[in-house]
Amino acid sequence: MGSYRIGWIMAVWLLVLIAVDFSIAQWVDHKQLRFSLLTIGTFAEAVPIAYYFMHISRVWRGEVH
């Protein structure tokens, strides 16, 4: 089942990124750099959720299963 596998891969990806974000916050002291890195990390989580979990492409491609 391809759809289930996407779920597991996403779970790993998201949890790893949360850990990465957390580490950035602990160890990067330069404020602007920290802000930029966190912004990138946040979008790296949000965009795959919108694409794989929320199926944003179905808005313009229609329903495909």
Residues lying near other proteins in the complex (CB under 8 A): 1, 3-4, 6-7, 10-11, 14-15, 18-19, 21-22, 24-26, 31-32, 34-35, 38, 41-42, 45-46, 49-50, 52-56, 58-59, 62-63, 65
Supply the Cα-derived Rg of the chain in whole angstroms.
15
* Number of Cβ atoms within 10 Å of the Cβ of 38: 15
Q: How far is the CB of 24 from other proteins (least distance, A)?
A: 7
Least distance to other proteins, CB of residue 44, Å: 10
Q: What sign for the dihedral angle of Cα 14, 19, 25, 28?
A: negative
- Strands of the chain, DSSP E: none
Least distance in Å: CB of 62 to other proteins?
A: 6
